Structure 1
C-alpha cells in the first residue's frame, strides 16, 4: 500500500532536509534565496537572468535561445502576462490556491507555453516547472522524474498536492513547517519545497540505480 506524505515527512523529514542543507552538500540549497529570490517585488512578474542562473542550481539549464526569448522576447512577455495574474503570496494548500493551479489557469497556461517548446529547444516539463517554482515558490512545486516516480506519474499533480496540503486543516503543511524549523532552514524556503527535498532525498539513489521502468518504489507514495 502506498505510504502517506504525512507519515514520510514525520519519519524522514528532518534527516533528508538536514542532509540537503549541509554546507556544500547540494547547489539546490541556493535555489530559493539566490539574488533575493525569484518572487522579490521588483522582478516577481518577469523572468530575469538571476532566475535562469538559479535553476542551474537544480541541475538543469535553460537553452540559450529560450533564455533570450524569456529575457527579451515575446515568450518572456507572454509569461509575464500570466505571472501578473498569479498572486506572489499564494500558497498551495491555502484557500483559493486550487483555482490558481487548475487546468487552464494562468499558472497552467504559463507552464504549457514553456513545455510546448520542448521539441525545438529541449526545455521540457521539468525545467518549465522549476522556472515557475522560482517565480512562485509557495504555489508551484519543484517536480522532477525522481519525485514523479514515487507518485506513479499521475496527472493533475498541482491540484492533487493542493488537496493533500489542505487536508485535515493543513496537517501536512504544519508538519513540513516543523521539519523546516527543526533543521533551522530559512523560511523563504517554502513548505512546498521542503516536501520536494524530502521526497527527492529519500529516492534519488535508488531511482538512479534502478531507472524508472524497473524502480520498485514507483507509485509507492500516495497522492
Structure 2
C-alpha cells in the first residue's frame, strides 16, 4: 500500500489534483472541499465529541461504512482519512487499511507525512486541511473518473 500511495503522491498530477479539488485555480471546488470548514469544522471545541446537524449535512446518504467513515474523518481529521470505494479501489482493495497506513506514515522518520505536508503547501491548500485529507483527496482525484466510469481494474493502479 505504501508504494501505491507514494506513487500517486509523487506524481506530477498530485498538486494539480489538490488545486482542482479545492477550487484554487478559479474553477468550482468539489463539494467535499467544504468538508473541513462547514459549520466551523467538525473537530472544533464543543462539538468534536457529538454529531451535529452540520456533520449530517456534510455527509448524509444512508449510514453505511463509507458514510460512517466520513463522519469519523470529519470529527477526527488528523486521526482518520476519508476512506471510500474509490480510495479503496485505487489502493488495490486491501484487506487491512488503518494499520498499514499508520505504519506508512511513521516509516522513515515520517517521510510520507512530510510529503503530504509539502504537497499541501505547494498546492496552496489551507493548513486546516489535514495531511490525511491531502492523501485521500490526491488518491480520490487520481482515480474517481475511471472508477465511476467503470474503467477500473481495481488492482491498485490507475487505468490508462
What TM-score comes out, normalization by structure 1 length? Answer: 0.64
**Are 1:13 and 2:17 matched, yes or no?**
no
Deviation at 1:219, TM superposition (A): 2.4
Give the helix-richer structure, 1 or 2: 1
Structure 2: which 5+ runs fail to align?
none
Alpha-carbon distance between aligned partners in 1 of 2:129 and 2:156, rounded to the nearest angstrom: 26
Of the two structures, which has the highest relative contact order with CA contacts closer than 8 Å and spacing of 6 or more? 2
Deviation at 1:3, TM superposition (A): 4.7
Match of 1:36 in 2: 40
What TM-score comes out, normalization by structure 2 length? Answer: 0.88
Match of 1:49 in 2: 53
Match of 1:220 in 2: 157
**Cα offsets for 1:5-56 (capped at 9, x unmatched):** 223212232011011111523111100111111110111111011111122x
Alpha-carbon distance between aligned partners in 1 of 2:51 and 2:38, rounded to the nearest angstrom: 14
RMSD (Å), alpha carbons:
1.8
Alpha-carbon distance between aligned partners in 1 of 2:127 and 2:116, rounded to the nearest angstrom: 11
**Equivalent pairs, count:** 153
Deviation at 1:217, TM superposition (A): 4.6
The alignment partner of 1:43 has SS state of coil
Alpha-carbon distance between aligned partners in 2 of 1:7 and 1:147, rounded to the nearest angstrom: 14
Alpha-carbon distance between aligned partners in 2 of 1:155 and 1:35, rounded to the nearest angstrom: 34
